[in-house]
A = this chain, B = another copy of it.
Amino acid sequence: MKPLSYQVLGLDGMARLGKIETKHGTIDTPTFMPVGTAGTVKAMLPSSLIKTGSQVVLGNTYHLMLRPGSDRIKGLGGLHQFMNWPGPILTDSGGFQVMSLSKLRTLSETGVVFQSHIDGKKYNLTPEVSVNIQQKLDSTITMQLDECPAHTTDKQVIEKSMLMSLRWAERSKDSFINRQGYGLFGIVQGGTFEDFREQSIKGLANIGFHGYAIGGLAVGEPQNTMFEVLDGLIPHMPEDKPRYLMGVGTPSDIVGAVSRGVDMFDCVLPTRSGRTGKAYTRRGEINIRNSRHADDPRPIDNQCECPACTDYSRAYIHHLVKSNEILGPMLLTWHNIQYYQDLMCALRKSIGNNQLANFISRFYDEQNSGDIEIF
């Protein structure tokens, strides 16, 4: 059984152009995975997602195991069929959201017992259960269960947690069933401590995974701290496997992480921002609710080819958002995902052409130039 495979196609400094071949299709890296929490990337049809260039979506095991339930999804043919997304799906382990959303959690070496935030029902999530649920979902890429502690400088807390995550990694590997084109990723922990990060990745590499994720970042630390962790960690990561920075991030976070050798990203920012009136543009973020847009006939971003930008004015989208019309989040979500995917496409192209440094310099110049002048 050949699992999913990763191939480096080009290097530019630490940055890598690559591709991941999976059971459900190819992923060009660096890639951005829109978040489809509960079996839907909020406000987007899969056919629209494909038009943005999205190749892989993320599903949240915590949400899906509670509602509609992994057995139900399995009975309905798996998550791909359920949500009409035939492409690759990566699912998280559920651990992160148990910690942030559920009630009455009890964490132990075995796993975590928690109550559903929806109906109070009790669940027992262990590394084995998490892998098994993700298999029922028919997830293309399964994530190990890990513990993701809050941002802290307490070395003892971080070390203890990192070592338990390593033991959970081993249990996850033991319970994962190899299938053609599927994969299991281990998760590096260790907070902001370089020695722990190194210990973690070495332990994971010894167990052996189809890809390695970096967890425990973007949890409140400054961007430069995150970049320093990447600078220390990435040289120790296997070169022949994809590297996934979990839950990251802003366009600037992604550009910085790609230049440091990260291949995969996921983040709720483009979708969540789209529901609060925020739009990403080549000249920075704007809030479309601002009255300066009320009479502006120009698009959000004149270089963007999404429907929000080709068919509508800022004035119209401002009106939709002010009027709480569903089409507002629909258009802004589409635009924001398009913006992220255009950015990933541009990053891949510049790595392929060994022009990444130039691209990054232009990216920051443009981002810092400020929004278009008031109409």
Contact = CB atoms under 8 A, between A and B. Distances in A.
A326 B318 CA distance: 19
B82 A325 contact: no
Interface stretch (A67-75, A246-254, A277-285): A67-75
B294 A330 contact: no
Interface stretch (A180-188, A219-227, A309-317): A309-317
Contacts of A315: 68, 72, 76, 82
Contact of A330 (B72, B76, B295, B330): B330
A107 interface: no
Contacts of A322: 67-68
A38 interface: yes
Contacts of A327: 40, 42-45
15 contacts: A38-B323, A38-B325, A40-B325, A42-B326, A43-B326, A45-B327, A67-B319, A68-B294, A72-B315, A75-B295, A76-B297, A76-B313, A82-B315, A326-B329, A326-B330
A313 B82 contact: yes
A299 to B, nearest CB: 12
Given A325-B42, A327-B40, A84 B319 contact: no
Contact of A72 (B84, B294, B323): B294
> How many subunits of this chain does the assembly comprise?
2
Contacts of A307: 45, 47
Nearest to A333: B326
Contacts of A234: none
Nearest to A275: B326
A77 interface: yes
Nearest to A311: B84
A304 interface: no
B297 A39 contact: no
Contacts of A129: none
A113 interface: no
A313 B84 CA distance: 10
Contacts of A294: 68, 72
A11 interface: no
Contact of A82 (B83, B84, B316): B316
Contact of A323 (B67, B297, B311, B326): B67
Contacts of A38: 319, 323, 325
A337 B230 CA distance: 51
A297 B40 CA distance: 17
A320 interface: yes
B72 A39 contact: no
A367 to B, nearest CB: 28
Contacts of A46: 311
B316 A39 contact: yes
A27 to B, nearest CB: 22
A169 B53 CA distance: 54
Interface in A148-176: none
A71 to B, nearest CB: 10
Contacts of A39: 316, 319-320
Contacts of A297: 76-77
Contacts of A68: 294, 315, 318-319, 322
